[in-house]
Structure 1
């Protein structure tokens, strides 16, 4: 049965959506031709659309759901907090417990919640400027830090094009080449940078890890030049105990978090944590005049629902750490190795990237080590072809042109095997050769 036949209710919803939502979807990345399916429920590693079709989900709430969909301790905490009040407009005990848990997880001194990863990055950049008295911020080509004007440059390839209409403040953004320390330093040392922000594993560009040498070199350079080093760990922060800063043993000055930090499923999920010297610039007690501190706040910041579910999530990850991370990491590594084996066996030119419980697939003619090498030879049509093949087989992920896969505790080995079987079938039996 074709996609059109299987998803009639989704098609009807999309036609309605186009009348009232620009582009027919709340977030453009969720759209694909001819129209997206609309999800009605989720459980474990599975999602179901409004037509009743079931899918194995490797998107997992944009990589947030390390514990899978509908994780019961989190759901029960949310249900109980809804009874007490989701947001109270006053300080609540859960913001304190959440901050303690975040600081413990990342071995940082202080933390403040934010409403999203985007907002966390916005406040982190402001902190870097407040601390140094400088204005410019370095960020990686292909790095995505949310829709904030102050970081919305060199996000999409080609990097010399504006990343959006209506941007007003991109002149203070300095694009840097990820994983090329010599070039990064050469560019950065001629700029008066307040901070450098990066994802230790480039997310949007295709799950590309930084090299340890690159991160350590960047740390040394930033320390020498008094530049605030910011790790955007919105995606990666809870994919390893202590985040990527603990995995690579490179400590930034500020870490930004989101997604998983707010209970995996809830809005108001973001935060900034760092050392006491920098974070004290947010302190309204010791800096009572508004012009003497860096502003941070908002109506839903620290709401009880998100703080409680975030605290429960972090506590579960701490408590079950020895069980969770070896399991999900081994599943992902198995997938990566098997895909590489299929590519070697068939002579198909493509590359697998990733780290721990995440991986990406690149239909490129060169090994992707940063945004540029992941994009300039990319076969977008081949990526779309694979996406529709998988969609027909009930397997979904983020996103058609650059496949990203996230594993959770809810995934089973037979589900990964199913992904591998369909990938092998696509490579060996489909008509992809006409696209080369």
Structure 2
């Protein structure tokens, strides 16, 4: 059963904050460039919602797929080593992986209810039974619902929340999730479908937590459809995905090596600093959050810590920013609740162009009204 005040947060608020910008219709892409149907070129920092981290039409990925089958066993071992997993199940889609993980949690725990945070449409649309909505970084409320609901099978969470830009866990929030789960026999499922590709070993490793189950998706396969259930206990590995998906997974893991990820993070740090400097220099009411290869801008003086604070952002200002950037040939991100992603195809010159265009947009658009 969804609690009434959180139902307002997560279901009724989004239509109110409707975005009104007109999106270009894209025709083709190469590297980090895309072209619309009218031939206009853009530098893309959305990168297919953060999934196309090798860039569009990456030759290594394309050639490897065309060559044929991959070594499935070797790819599985690469995945397990990188994320310190003991077993994996690989599916054709992220949705299938989530369904499997939730059903597995119910089977292992012998319980039914699922606690989740905010927008998790794949779980919601699967109609998997009773769920409870918690608010990210609201520890008191989480503890309350855990103690009041004896039948909780799993808590599913993004280690860093990406459904409201980019919101890191506060203080001991994740630590307490792990403690409560252990105390009440609840399975922990870390949804790293987005965050798994933003840092070399993923967000769970970065934040020093070890969930029972970790989910990964297309960002680890160059945007090719795939869903991965990684487990921190030994069980047989198996694959229910196409050979193309497995090949793409293996190549992407190779290409997004530690050195490549370090360079992508370095470029993101430059972009984040540039945003912060321009915000400060121009004295505008905005803030920036960044982690790994991603970042986001909020038209709000301080970054939100939870969803109720996210609703305070100035969406009209964001729309002006977005339209100004699009008109300047930059796709900064897909929406006000999303984030940019630096791909392997981006260069420092691309970052500099982005910041030059941002400076112009801030002076002529965001501050004009």
Query: 1:287: which partner in 2?
Result: none
- Distance between the aligned counterparts of 2:366 and 2:181, measured in 1? 49
Pairs within 5 Å for 1:294-313: 301-313=240-252
Aligned counterpart for 1:252 among listed residues 211, 227, 247: 211
C-alpha displacement of 1:367: 2.9
Offset from partner CA, 1:302-329 (integer Å, 9 cap, x none): 2111111111211333xx31x2122111
Answer whether contact 1:125 1:195 (CA < 8 A) is retained.
Answer: yes
Pairs within 5 Å for 1:133-152: 133-141=110-118, 143-144=119-120, 146=122, 148-150=124-126
C-alpha displacement of 1:365: 5.0
Computing the radius of gyration from Cα coordinates, the structure with the larger value is 1
Aligned counterpart for 1:220 among listed residues 176, 179, 197: 179
Q: What count of residue pairs does the alignment treat as equivalent?
A: 351
Q: Which structure is richer in relative contact order (CA contacts within 8 A, separation 6 or more)?
A: 2
**Deviating more after overlay: 122-131 vs 112-121:** 112-121
Query: 1:26: which partner in 2?
Result: none
- Distance between the aligned counterparts of 1:428 and 1:236, measured in 2? 33
Query: 1:332: which partner in 2?
Result: 268
- Distance between the aligned counterparts of 2:338 and 2:128, measured in 1? 31
Cα 1:354–1:423 change in 2 (3 A) is same
Answer whether contact 2:320 2:365 (CA < 8 A) is retained.
Answer: no
- Distance between the aligned counterparts of 1:358 and 1:420, measured in 2? 15
Aligned counterpart for 1:187 among listed residues 142, 145, 160: 145
- Distance between the aligned counterparts of 1:169 and 1:275, measured in 2? 23
- Distance between the aligned counterparts of 1:418 and 1:193, measured in 2? 49
Answer whether contact 1:94 1:304 (CA < 8 A) is retained.
Answer: no
- Distance between the aligned counterparts of 1:67 and 1:169, measured in 2? 34
RMSD: 2.4
- Distance between the aligned counterparts of 1:257 and 1:145, measured in 2? 16
TM-score, length basis structure 1: 0.75
- Distance between the aligned counterparts of 2:320 and 2:67, measured in 1? 45
Offset from partner CA, 1:232-277 (integer Å, 9 cap, x none): 111111222221111111110000110123x21322x111010336
Cα 1:404–1:175 change in 2 (3 A) is same
Aligned counterpart for 2:44 among listed residues 57, 60, 63: 57
TM-score, length basis structure 2: 0.88
Aligned counterpart for 2:94 among listed residues 105, 109, 117: 117
- Distance between the aligned counterparts of 1:107 and 1:431, measured in 2? 45
- Distance between the aligned counterparts of 1:351 and 1:95, measured in 2? 44
Give secondary structure in 2 for the equivalent of 1:206: coil
Gap regions ≥5 residues in structure 2: 1-17
C-alpha displacement of 1:221: 1.5
